[in-house]
Amino acid sequence: MESNIANHTLAEAQAKATEAQDKANKAQDKANKAQRDLEMVPRGVSGTASSVDEFAGIVRQYMEDTGVTAVKYRVNPVYRSE
């Protein structure tokens, strides 16, 4: 009788461990996809924008056109006196 209880408890623990591993694998897959999306952005793409709103529009349009879900960018501000 005690053996059956122990086997049942062990089976439950193994099922929970398998479920936890599956969740961890799914989370890792999502992280890998996000990393691939970042790596797909071409390096050295440049452009100019006269405002933050214009810059955001350019980035948004690029993401829509390419299907990229995340971008990494660097802004080099240029101050002009007119």
pLDDT in tens, 40-55: 655 556 667 777 788 8
The whole-model pTM stands at 0.42
How far, in Å, CA of 43 to CA of 77, rounded?
18
Q: Report pLDDT for 21.
A: 95
pLDDT in tens, 25-80: 999 988 888 777 666 655 556 667 777 788 888 888 888 888 878 777 777 777 76
Contacts of 72 (CB under 8 A, 6+ apart): 38, 41
